[in-house]
A and B are shown apart, each in its own frame.
Chain A
Amino acid sequence: MIIDGLTSLLAGFGTFEWTHGVMIVVGCALLYLGIKKNIEPLLLLPIGFGAILVNIPLGGMMEQGGLLRHFYDAGVLTEIFPCLIFIGIGAMTDFGPLLENPRILLLGGAGQFGIFLTLLLALFLGFTRMESVAIGIIGACDGPTAIYVTSKYAPHMLGAVSVAAYCYMSMVPLIQPPIMRALTSVEERKIEMKYHRKTVSPALKIIFPVLVTLVTCLIAPMGTPLMGTLMLGNLLRESGVADRLVKASQNEIANIVTLLLGISIGATMAGPIFLKPQTLIVLGLGLVAICLDTAMGIFLAKLMKILSGGKVNPLIGAAGISAFPMSARVVQMEGQKANRKNYLLMHAMGANTGGQIGSVLAAAVMLSILKGMGIV
């Protein structure tokens, strides 16, 4: 009797596999990055701890009826968490700099090339079609979009894709500058872009979220949950009559959902599922995607420079990704390194908010095409 009792207390050790041990170390590494290096702590802490919890044998956290399984089924599988996060992001985003110069929105499109080029690369490496779509979407540089698409079409890759998306997003200040310097000449980086504050009608700020929702969702309806919630958040902000909802979206809702989303993603990182050579390839391809986004954004900005008679600094093209506002800050810093009088921040902010719309739109267009092809 006593021995049976003791045996049950040690059962966890009996079923402990090396993969669990490795993933607990990975979970601790994520905690270290979040706490000591301050890399996306709001996400890496719950993800890291979720990874530890799910790798405790017999804990049952992700089994039917388990706590993390409830969070995962209720929030990730139903797509509720990424959409709620988008309401918060919309409520935090000021599209003002973009509305002052709407053409800059195109840079937010060019910054999505990485999605499609990486998708091609993943197909070439032997991933299935839906896995390739999920890997490519890391190039959106947008955590909620990556989670939304992956949980829907390649849920077994959710852990790897989300960790890659959030880690690379926070590593933008390390990833982008070498690419920016390699693809632009010193003369190009020195180009000063004058910033004249243009008048934007207050009514336009209210019309914009409704307009974007109607145009994008009518053309690419599969992205309606993402674009709709992003623009709802922004409408709440710009309407000026729903302060309580704006504050709730920016704080309580965003914080609670971030915690639950993070721990649910961590819960997908069970050792036997996560520890495969495939995961390393996904992480590598994610990095390639973000490098390609940066490069293609710079190339389009170079084209704009030629068309505008040399008035556009190609560096701002690098900000056409969704990593807001890190990417815009990196552009400002690189511009100032080349020319102290250079203030590219507002232009880069415009491209960066364009990248937020572009990333959601690219995912929406891709899903709608897949639906049209009868694949989803």
Chain B
Amino acid sequence: MGNLDFGLTLTVLGMGGTLIILFLISLIVDVFNKYLIRGDRKREARKES
């Protein structure tokens, strides 16, 4: 593998991989937050009632 191929492979896989993992984390965080907030609200409503 030549240096150019090496650099391009690392750039495409590295940058692509980084962005995909970050996107994945942002999706999971979004889902977790919605689920946890719903749980928090239910608990508060139960306390009030």
Q: Which residues of A contact B (CB under 8 A)?
A: 99, 102-103, 105-106, 108-110, 112-113, 115-117, 119-120, 123-124, 129, 132-133, 199-201, 203-204, 207-208, 211-212, 215-216, 219-220, 354, 357-358, 361-362, 365-366, 369-370, 373
Contacts and interface: CB of A to CB of B under 8 A. Distances in A.
Given A129-B6, A216-B25, 9 more contacts: A105-B25, A106-B26, A109-B19, A120-B7, A123-B7, A201-B33, A358-B22, A370-B10, A373-B6
B21 A201 contact: no
A116 B19 contact: no
B6 A215 contact: no
Contacts of B40: 201, 203
B13 interface: yes
Contacts of B33: 99, 102, 200-201, 204
A220 B21 contact: yes
A112 B37 CA distance: 32
Contact of A365 (B4, B8, B18, B26): B18
B21 A106 contact: no
Interface of B: 1, 3-4, 6-11, 13-15, 17-19, 21-30, 32-33, 36-37, 39-40
A129 B8 CA distance: 12
15 contacts: A102-B26, A102-B30, A109-B18, A112-B18, A120-B8, A123-B7, A132-B7, A133-B10, A207-B36, A215-B21, A215-B24, A216-B25, A357-B25, A358-B22, A373-B6
Task: Give the interface SS of chain A, mostly helix, strand, loop or mixed.
Answer: helix
Contact of A366 (B8, B10, B22, B25): B10
Given A102-B25, A201-B40, A358 B7 contact: no
Contacts of A208: 29
A122 to B, nearest CB: 9
Contacts of B24: 215
A298 B2 CA distance: 32
